[in-house]
Amino acid sequence: MEKLAAERMEQVLDDKFCQKLAEEFNLSAGRAGSKVLQDTQVQGWFLNKFPVSATKPTCVPTVPQEKASGSEVNVSVSEKKSAASEEKLFPLDTSISNNEDELSPVFPLETKDKIPDLEELEFEAKSSKDYAWYDIALFLAHRRNRTGEVEVRVRFEGFGADEDEWVNVKKCIRQRSIPLESSQCRSIVEGDLVLCFREGNEEALHFDAHVLEVQRKQHDIRGCRCIFLVEYDHDRSQEKVSLRRLSRRPKYF
């Protein structure tokens, strides 16, 4: 796939090219008995792997522009992921251990993920209504706006058709963020972009935030007790949070 992208940079997002490639994959002996691969999934893989060169929306088939608003293509890309609420945080120990041996083992600062198979790709989208990120259940249609940028109509996981939105592909669609385990706390450092769960009086949403400061604390039976000072990108407010409220961005290189 990477070789094809390097050799045919201008063709990898062409609908006919992706359809032909998907057919070749499905006919290969190595995929006997596997789930049928869709051309939209092939297109989505190229867009996710080479976003800079992408000129077409991810996982969306090409349809005439005048029909885009009315067409619906049900392409399921994720399983339900609850974002309603979180467990209450345990009281944090205010003492900081100076004994490095008492802290969690040292983990690489850069966590490199295995590049997922096409069937495993899952996406999230940023809503223009509240600037929060939601898991995508379906890509419904696509179009070009007045400036020529591609937009897709998505259905958010756990929501009905009345909450469907048109979102910008380049700015508001990305591969799903990954929840962190207690043992991965040292992979988060100052300056990192994270997806942070913020629970208010009337809402519990996930927002982009940057890590400003990390207070390393001794782990116990309950797991990581480090404190992360984050600043939310959409309103510049700051908050101290625990690791369980953070998800990281996928890293492959």
Segment holding 15, helix H or strand E: helix 15-27
Q: Which one-letter DSSP state was computed for residue 49?
A: H
The Cα–Cα gap between 197 and 195 comes to 7
The Cα–Cα gap between 186 and 183 comes to 8
The Cα–Cα gap between 71 and 90 comes to 48
Please say whether the beta carbons of 48 and 120 come within 8 A: no
For residue 106, what pLDDT is reported?
43
Tokens of 134: 């939601």
Q: Which of 192, 175, 183 is nearest to 230 (CA)?
A: 192
For residue 66, what pLDDT is reported?
42
Q: To 5 degrees, how large is the angle CA 212–CA 182–CA 112?
A: 75
The Cα–Cα gap between 175 and 121 comes to 7
What's the gap between Cα 213 and its chain centre?
23
For residue 128, what pLDDT is reported?
93
For residue 240, what pLDDT is reported?
97
β-strand 173-175 against 123-126: which pairing, if any? Answer: antiparallel
For residue 232, what pLDDT is reported?
97
Residuewise pLDDT in 10s, the chain (253 residues): 555 555 555 555 667 777 777 777 666 655 555 566 666 666 666 666 555 444 334 444 444 444 344 444 444 433 344 443 344 333 443 333 334 344 444 444 455 777 777 667 899 999 999 999 999 999 999 999 999 999 999 999 999 999 999 999 999 999 999 999 998 999 999 999 999 999 887 789 999 999 999 999 999 888 999 999 999 999 999 999 999 999 999 987 5
* Dihedral sign (CA 128, 130, 131, 132): negative
Segment holding 16, helix H or strand E: helix 15-27
The Cα–Cα gap between 78 and 121 comes to 8
